[in-house]
Amino acid sequence: MGQEIEHSHFRKQDFLEFEAHLHEETQLLGDYFQQNRFESGHPVAGFELEAWLIDREGQPLPANDRFLDVLDSDLVTPELALFNVELNCTPRSIQGRSLSKMQSELEKTWKKCQTAANKIDASLVTIGILPTIREQALILDNMSAMTRYRALNEGVRRLRKGDLIKLDIVGREKLKTWHEDVMLESAATSFQVHMQIPPTLAARTYNAAAILSAPMIAISANSPFMFGHDLWDETRIPVFEQAVSVSTTKDNSDARVTFGHNYVKESLLECFTENIERYPILLPEPLDPDPSHFSHLQLHNGTIWRWNRPLIGFDNKGKPHLRIEHRALPSGPTLVDMIANAALFYGMVQRFSHCSTPPESRLPFVHALDNFYQCARDGLRSDLRWFDGAHVNVRVLLTEKLIPTARRGLDELGVAHEDIEFYMGIIEQRLKSGQTGCAWQRAWAEKHGRDMKELTLAYRDNQTHGQPVHEWTL
C-alpha cells in the first residue's frame, strides 16, 4: 500500500481490466520463478516503523501534514491517520555492523522527527496502541489526505455491503463496539521487518517466519490497552484483523488480515496465486501496463495483510528480488528494543531456513497458527506446541533454544560479534526480567491507576531517555 493512486471510485470495467492485468502478471511471475530470475545475493535487512504524533497532554494529534511539511524528509511518509507517520530506512546487507548502522540511521531520523514535531508543539512516540486513543478520534476527518486511503475505505465498505465493522475482543477484559470505517486500523501501529532473500531460500524463509511469529510476538508485546480496556498482550493483532474484516466465508478463509492457511510447499508463487483465488480486488487502479513491472500484482498484494507477507521488489538496476515482510511486531518501546527484535528475527530465520530437516516438517501449520494467537493473547506466559509434539513454555523455548539459534544464525550471516552480543544481550535481559512493553504498561497502571494520559506521558518520558524497556522503572 505504499504507492499512491489517482482514483477512489471505480467502474465495473476498471475491475475487469485490472483482473486481466493481474492474471497476466501472475502468469509472468510464474515464469520468473521457473527461470530463477530474482536477485540471489546476501540477505538484506530493512524496516518500516509506524509512530504516533501526540500533543502535550498525550492525546493523538491529527497533524501529520503540518509535521511532514516542517520535516521535509524522504524517509518519513504519512500513514492512514493524520496522527500517524511511517519512518523508513536504507536497506543494508545483513553482515558486519549493519544492525548498529541501522540503529544509528534510525536515531538520526528520529531526532530530526522530534525536532520537527516540537516546532508544532507535538512529540513522536512509538507504541503499538496509544493508551489515550478514543473511538471519537477514529473518524474520516482524521484520515490522511491521500487518495489510496479514501479508496481503501470505499473498497472495504463495498465488500462489507455497508455493514458496520464489529470490534469484539475477549482478553483480561472484554471490549465490544461497532465502527463505520477503516480508521479503526489506525489505532494499531507496527514495526515491520523486511528481509530480502535469495529465491532458493524464499519458501523456507517464509515458513520459518510463520513458525517464529509466536515467540517473536511474545518477546515484543506492547499493546495491552484499547479504549481503556486491558485485553491481549498484543491487542494490535485482533484490532487489525477486525478493522478491515470483509470475510464472506464461515471459516474466514478470505480474511484480508491473516496468519495464512498453510506453509508454502514449493515457492512464494503459491501466495500470489492464492491472492487471485481468494481475494476480490479492492483497488482496481489503472497502472503501468508493462507486466514485467508487476504493478497490479504489487497493488493487489498490498491489500492483503498477511502477518508474514511475501513481496516482489526491484533493485536500482531494475532486477526483481523477493522479500518477506514480518508484520507481527508492534511499534516500540524504544529504538534499540526494536533493532534487537529485528536482530532476533533475522538470526532465527537464517538458521531455521538452513536446517537439514525443515522445521515446517516438525510442526503442523495449525500448531504454528495456534501458537501465534496464544502468544498474542498471553505473551511470555504462553505454553506452545513445538517440534515433534513437544509442549514448552515460550520463555523456556526462547532461553534454551531460540536465542542461541539466533546467535548462530547472525554469526552465519557474518554479523559482527559486537552487534550479536549487544542486541541478543538486550533480548536476554528483557526475557530474564519479563518486562516487555506490555508488562511495563500493566505494571504502571497497577501501581498508579488506570489514568491513560499519565501512562502515555510516563511511557513517552521513558522512551525519550532511550534505555531498553527492561531497564524502565515505574
pLDDT one-digit tens code per residue, 209-256: 999 999 999 999 999 999 999 999 999 999 999 998 887 666 776 889
What mean pLDDT comes out for the span 202-208?
98
Q: Are 198 and 354 in contact (CB under 8 A)?
A: no
pLDDT one-digit tens code per residue, 74-92: 999 999 999 999 999 999 9
Q: For position 316, what pLDDT does the model report?
A: 83
Q: What is the pTM of this model?
A: 0.97
pLDDT one-digit tens code per residue, 150-201: 999 999 988 888 889 999 999 999 999 999 999 999 999 999 999 999 999 9
What is the number of alpha carbons within 13 Å of residue 12 lying toward its C-beta?
0
What mean pLDDT comes out for the span 429-449?
98
pLDDT one-digit tens code per residue, 23-47: 999 999 999 999 999 999 999 999 9
Q: Which long-range contacts link 451-458 to residues 24+ away (Cβ below 8 Å)?
A: 452/58, 452/131, 452/132, 452/225, 452/228, 453/57, 453/58, 453/59, 453/132, 454/58, 455/131, 455/225, 456/54, 456/58, 456/125, 456/127, 456/130, 456/131, 456/132, 457/58
Q: What is the mean pLDDT of the chain?
A: 96
For CA atoms 216, 221, 227, 229, give the dihedral sign: positive
What does the buried/exposed string (b/e) look like for 41-64 if buried means 16 or more CB atoms within 10 Å of the residue's CB? eebbbbbbbbbbbbbeebbbbbbb
pLDDT over 90 at 333, yes or no: yes
What mean pLDDT comes out for the span 378-389?
98
pLDDT over 90 at 3, yes or no: no
Q: For position 317, what pLDDT does the model report?
A: 85
pLDDT over 60 at 60, yes or no: yes
pLDDT over 60 at 2, yes or no: no
What mean pLDDT comes out for the span 200-207?
97
pLDDT over 70 at 149, yes or no: yes
52 backbone dihedrals φ, ψ, rounded to 5°: -105, 140
Q: For position 101, what pLDDT does the model report?
A: 98
Under the banding of pLDDT at 50, 70 and 90, the label for residue 1 is very low
76 backbone dihedrals φ, ψ, rounded to 5°: -125, 130
Fold exhibited by the domain 12-467? Creatine Kinase; Chain A, domain 2 (3.30.590)
pLDDT over 90 at 271, yes or no: yes
Q: For position 103, what pLDDT does the model report?
A: 98
- What is the greatest pairwise CA distance in the chain? 61
pLDDT over 60 at 351, yes or no: yes
pLDDT one-digit tens code per residue, 84-120: 999 999 999 999 999 999 999 999 999 999 999 999 9
Q: Where are the domains of the chain?
A: 12-467
